[in-house]
Amino acid sequence: MQIAFAASECTPFAKTGGLADVVGALPHELVKLGHKVSVFLPFYARVRRHIGGEPRYAIRSLAIPFLSYNRFAGIVDGGQRDGVQYYFIDCQELFDRKELYGSGGADYADNAERFGLFCRAVIEASKQLGVPQIFHVHDWEAALIPVYLRTVYAADTDLRGAATVLTIHNAAYQGKFPPNTTEQLLLPWDVFTMDKLEQYDRFNFLKGGIVFSDLLTTVSRRYAEEIQTPEFGEQLEGILRIRAADLHGILNGVDYTLWNPATDANLAAHYTPQRLDGKRACRSDLLHAFGLEGVAETTPVIGIVTRLATQKGFDIVARITEEIAAREVAVMALGAGDPYYEKLFRGWAFRHPASVVVRIGYDDALAHKIEAGSDLFLMPSRYEPCGLNQIYSLKYGTVPIVRATGGLDDTVEEWDAKKGTGTGFKFAGFDPKALLAEIDRAIAAFRDKKQWTRLMRNGMARDYSWTGPAKEYERVYEEAARRRT
C-alpha cells in the first residue's frame, strides 16, 4: 500500500511536541510491514538548516491559487531515510521563519494561508509524484487535505480513489479563522455551514478534516472516548459523536532505540530489569547534576519533565507545593511554558533549596537523566491525549504518578501491593488532596525495597513500541481504502 503522511512536524527535522515523534517513527514501522511511505512537511528554516547544502527539487514550481493571486511552491526532495521518502513544501515567504507557528506568544497572522497552501501543495505534488492510496493527515495544519479532495478536486479522476485518515493529536488545537478564509482558500461557500467547517462563525480546519475524512484516529483509546464529551471535546464533541463509529483510539508507541536504559548514551550507567544496579548510579548522577548530592537513599526522587501549563495539572500542584516539600522527597523539575508556572516553580525551589531544584527550559540529555535517575515521575495532567513521558518512565523503572485521563489511564496500571501487580499510581477527579494521597502511597511503597523492585520491573516489562500500533494503523488504512473502491 502507498501511504502519504502530511504533517506540520516530524523528527528529526522540526518538533514542538509529540506529533513530531509520531510522524518521525510510525512511517518507519509501516515500511517494515511492506508499505511504501512518503512524508510531506513544510520547508521551515530549521528544516533547511537540518538538511544543509543546496536543496534538490523533485518539482521546481507549483502554482497554488488564492482569491486574487497565486503563490508558488517548490517540492524539495529530502531523500530516503530507512525506507521512508521525505518531501518538503518550499514557499519561503510563508515557511522560512524562525518558529513554526508564531512568535512572541502569538500565532502568525497568516497561518490559514500558510497551511492552506501546504495542503493544496501536498495534493498537487502527489499528482506528479504518485497519488497514494492513503493520505494520512495529522492535526489541523493538514486537515484541509480531505476537504479539498472532496470539494475542489472531487471531479479529478486521478484523486477520486485516494482515501483519507485524520489523526487528532490534541483536540484543543483546531485552526480557527475568520469566515472569509473560505473564500481566501478558494473553497466553495457551501462548506461554511454548521454541519461542515463552520463553528460559532469561525472557519475551523480541524472540524473540516473530521467531517470530510474517511476515517479518524486519535492517540489513545481513552482519549477517543473523552473527546466525545463536553469536558474534553473542545466544542467538537457533537460532530465526533456523529462520527464515533469511524473514530479509532490507537495508542502512540515510543522509539526504544532512543529511550532504553540498557543503551541510552545520556546515562551515567546502563541497566536492565535483571540488573538494576546502574539505576543507582543514574540517581547519583542526577542528584549531582541538580546540586543535591546530600539526599539520603531512603528519600525518593520525584522527577518532572513537562511543558509548564494548566493542561499539565500544575494548578493543583500549586495548591500543595508546601505539603509535598514537607514530605521526605527530593523534586527535580525541567520545563518551560506559562510565565505564571515558571514563577511558581522558581519560588518553590527558592523556598526549599535543599529538596526542590528547577531548571527552566528544555534539555534533551537532562530529560533522559531525569527519567533514569528519578524514583517517581509526576504527571497530574488535566487531560493528556496520549503522553509519552509516563511510557518512558515505565521503561526506565521510574514509577509514574498520574491522573487517570487519556493515555495516562491507558498506560499506567494501578499498583496492588497484595497481588504484586500494577505499574504506578493513579488518582481520579481533579483534587489536590487525591494527588497528595497518591504521593503518600508511592512514598510508602518506596520504603519496601522488595515491593519497589517488583513495581519497577512490572513497568519495565511493558512493551509500548510501535510494532503493535503500526498494525492497528494498517487495519485502519485497509478499511479506509475499501470505502474508496
Read off the pLDDT of each residue in 449-468 and give the average, rounded to a whole number.
96
366, pLDDT greater than 90: yes
Residue 358 has a pLDDT of 96
Contact 233, 240 (CB under 8 A): yes
pLDDT band at 41 (very low <50, low <70, confident <90, very high): very high
Cα angle 407, 410, 413; round to 5: 130
pTM (two decimals): 0.92
170, pLDDT greater than 90: yes
Residue 16 has a pLDDT of 85
294, pLDDT greater than 90: no
pLDDT band at 103 (very low <50, low <70, confident <90, very high): confident
| SS3 state at 275 | coil
Residue 73 has a pLDDT of 98
Residue 439, domain member (yes or no): yes
429, pLDDT greater than 90: no
Read off the pLDDT of each residue in 133-152 and give the average, rounded to a whole number.
98
CA distance 37 to 15: 20
pLDDT band at 266 (very low <50, low <70, confident <90, very high): very high
Residue 347 has a pLDDT of 97
Contact 396, 372 (CB under 8 A): yes
* One domain for residues 351 and 303: yes
Residue 390: domain span: 277-460
Residue 378, domain member (yes or no): yes
* One domain for residues 15 and 80: yes
Distance of CA 323 to the CA centre of its chain: 31
Read off the pLDDT of each residue in 168-192 and give the average, rounded to a whole number.
97
* One domain for residues 172 and 231: yes
Q: Pairing relation of β-strands 202-204 and 215-218?
A: unpaired
pLDDT band at 175 (very low <50, low <70, confident <90, very high): very high
Residue 104 has a pLDDT of 80
The CATH number assigned to the domain holding 116 equals 3.40.50.2000
* One domain for residues 434 and 474: no
Model pLDDT for residues 306-324, shown as the tens digit of each residue = 989 899 999 999 999 999 9
Report the candidate in 134, 160, 226, 151 with the shortest Cα–Cα distance to residue 185.
151
Read off the pLDDT of each residue in 148-163 and give the average, rounded to a whole number.
96
| SS3 state at 175 | coil
Contact 292, 354 (CB under 8 A): yes
Residue 362 has a pLDDT of 86
Residue 142, domain member (yes or no): yes
Read off the pLDDT of each residue in 164-182 and give the average, rounded to a whole number.
97
The label of the residue with cell 495534493 reads 123
* One domain for residues 179 and 303: no
Contact 483, 9 (CB under 8 A): no
Residue 18 has a pLDDT of 84
Residue 271, domain member (yes or no): no
* One domain for residues 197 and 177: yes
152, pLDDT greater than 90: yes
Residue 478, domain member (yes or no): yes
Report the candidate in 413, 425, 411, 314 with the shortest Cα–Cα distance to residue 375.
425
Residue 247 has a pLDDT of 98
Residue 293 has a pLDDT of 81
* Residue 454: HSE in the Cβ half-sphere, 13 Å Cα cutoff: 14
Number of domains within the chain? 2
Residue 187 has a pLDDT of 98
Residue 391 has a pLDDT of 97
Residue 433, domain member (yes or no): yes
* One domain for residues 388 and 297: yes
* One domain for residues 218 and 283: no
Residue 17 has a pLDDT of 82
* One domain for residues 88 and 72: yes
Average pLDDT, the chain: 96
Residue 128, domain member (yes or no): yes
* One domain for residues 131 and 221: yes
Q: Across the strands, what pairs with 470?
A: none
59, pLDDT greater than 90: yes
CA distance 326 to 339: 25
Residue 418 has a pLDDT of 94
236, pLDDT greater than 90: yes
287, pLDDT greater than 90: yes
* One domain for residues 245 and 352: no
430, pLDDT greater than 90: no
Residue 263, domain member (yes or no): no
Contact 28, 3 (CB under 8 A): no
**Secondary structure string (H, E, C) spanning 307-376:** EECHHHCHHHHCCCHHHHHHCCCEEEEEEEECHHHHHHHHHHHHHCCCCEEEEECCCHHHHHHHHHHCCE
* One domain for residues 232 and 315: no
